[in-house]
Amino acid sequence: MIQPIEILPILLAGILDTLLGDPAWIPHPIVYFGKAIAKLEKLLNKGKRRLLKGALMTLFLSLGTFVFFYLLMYASHLIHPYLEAGLICLFLFYGVANKTLIKEGKEVFKILDSEGLDAGRKQLSRIVGRDTSPLNEQQIRTAVLETMSENLSDGVVAPLFYFAIAGIPGIMTYKMINTHDSMIGYKNDRFLHFGRFAAKLDDVVNYIPARITALLIALCNFSIRSLIFIFKFGKKHASPNAGFPEAALAGVLNCRFGGPNTYHGKLLNKPFIGNNHKILNYQDFKTTARTNNAVFALSLATIIGINTFLS
């Protein structure tokens, strides 16, 4: 059930993300999540029963995150409402990544156009897990837009979804689960067993948010074609979730995503999402950035509206 939350901290968090993104000079809890995962992974990911040990680590850190932030927010509520509101604003700001997502995508387009193919490949490698060395300009632009649509779910809608359900403990626990997936949720020799539970748990927690994201993309663009693409192509992806926002954006842009790509040295023949093999350009990035901003704003407005209604 959605908990009543003060409106002002939510608005301020949205404004802070829009203005600042994730500045490197501010300590970020996700960095510490990553350090905890890396330390325990190094300790546990060896010998027998790696699947069990990986599952226990994921559950321990995820449940520990929920308990820690529940107690923190409970204590702040007892101390002073302003302290509680300040922490809501701070950790909601930490939990969403709309500005950074758009900034990173824009940087790839900019460097590709100004510095050439090799520089574009290198810049893209900062934000995707695939091998960027064989990609041409069209494939680089496609990868950027795919990533922006997929991470609109992981970095914006899903965190806000769990914030609406369980407040700051909810959003921070989601970020811990998502960080697990991004660090150990790979099907390679090192993480095939140890990271399997983390990858499956991430699939479960993103199931509803990914579909909400797809619908919001279509709604914010008033695009019937986007809705058609969601139902036609949403399931044509190795991930049970990523295909839905990708299909929605492909429908908005009337382009084609997917296709063969190399991940960690292995070629994956992913199906195509969409039919129109058009050449993508900076205008398509601008449409995607505008869409991400609109979905972010609409998500915040929905949370505020629901909480106003329940108050």
Q: Band the pLDDT of 205: cuts 50, 70, 90.
A: very high
pLDDT for the residue numbered 131: 84
Q: What is the pLDDT of residue 75?
A: 98
Per-residue confidence (pLDDT) for residue 1, from 0 to 100: 40
- Rounded-to-integer distance, Cα 162 and Cα 151, Å: 15
Q: Is residue 11 helix, strand or coil?
A: helix
User: pLDDT tens digits, residue range 233-285?
Assistant: 999 888 899 999 999 999 999 999 987 766 656 666 778 999 899 999 999 99
Six token digits for residue 7: 């409106």
At 306 the pLDDT is 84
C-beta atoms surrounding 307 within 10 Å: 17
Note whether 160 and 303 are within 8 A (CB).
Answer: yes
CA distances from 193 to 63, 92, 190 (A): 21, 33, 8
Instruction: Indicate the range of 156-165, 182-191, 203-212 predicted with least confidence.
Output: 182-191
Is the pLDDT confidence value at 287 over 70? yes
Give the model's pLDDT for residue 5.
Answer: 56
Kindly tell me if the per-residue pLDDT of 300 is higher than 90: yes
Q: What is the pLDDT of residues 93-148, one digit of tens each?
A: 999 999 999 999 999 999 999 999 999 999 999 998 788 988 999 999 999 999 99
Rounded Cα distance, 218 and 240, in Å: 19
Q: Can you read off the two tokens belonging to residue 36?
A: 């905890």
The predicted structure's pLDDT at residue 27: 85
pLDDT digits (tens, 9 = 90+) for 25-58: 788 999 999 999 999 999 999 999 999 999 999 9
Residue 10: how many CB atoms within 10 A of its CB? 22
Angle formed by the axes of helices 81-95 and 29-44, nearest 10°: 60
Span 182-205, mean pLDDT?
A: 95
Q: Kindly report the CA angle at 28 between 85 and 17, in degrees rounded to 5?
A: 60
What is the pTM for the complete model shown?
Answer: 0.93
Q: Could you identify the residue written with the tokens 């608005």?
A: 11
Q: What is the pLDDT of residue 288?
A: 98
**Helix intervals (H) in the chain:** 7-20, 29-44, 50-79, 81-95, 98-115, 117-124, 137-152, 158-184, 196-220, 224-233, 243-253, 282-310
Distance CA 132, CA 108 (A): 12
- Whether 71 has a pLDDT exceeding 70, the answer reads yes
Q: How confident is residue 309, by pLDDT bands cut at 50, 70 and 90?
A: confident
**Given this model, what pLDDT does residue 2 score?**
45
